[in-house]
Amino acid sequence: MSNSSHFKIIIIFAYCLILIGCVGLIMHFILKYNISYTIEFKLFIFLFSLFHILTGIGVILRKRWAYYIFKLYLYLLYFVIPIGTYISIKTFKHINKYCIDDFFKN
C-alpha cells in the first residue's frame, strides 16, 4: 500500500509545494532590505512560504492533519482561474477515485 503509484502523484505534488515554499523564502530574503516592499508584503510572503513547506512535509510524512490542510489548499486553488481550477478538479477526482485519504495516518 505504501508503494502505490496513485499516492506517488500526491507525493510529487507535495514536493512541488515544498519547492514553491523554498522559492518564496528565497524571495523573502532577497527582498528583505528592499524599501519598496512593505513589511506586510514581506510577512505575507514569509507566512505563505512556511504554509507551503509545512503542508508539503506533512503530506510526505502522511500525517492526517496535512491531508486536511492539503484539501484546504486545493479548495483555495479553485479561485486561481483557469489553471488552479483545473489542477484542483483533477486532484480531487484522483483523491476520490483512489481513496487517497486511506494513505494518511492519524
Domain ranges (residues) in the chain = 5-101
Give the pLDDT mean for 80-87. Answer: 94
Give the pLDDT mean for 33-47. Answer: 87
Q: Please, which residues have CB within 8 angstroms of residue 25's CB and are 6 or more apart in sequence?
A: 46, 49, 50, 53
Asked if pLDDT for residue 66 goes beyond 60, the answer is yes
Length of the chain: 106
* Per-chain mean pLDDT for the chain: 91
Q: What is the structure's pLDDT at 1?
A: 44
Give the ranges where the chain is alpha helix by DSSP (H): 5-30, 39-60, 64-77, 83-97
Contact criterion met (CB below 8 Å) for 28 and 42: yes
Q: What is the pTM of this model?
A: 0.88
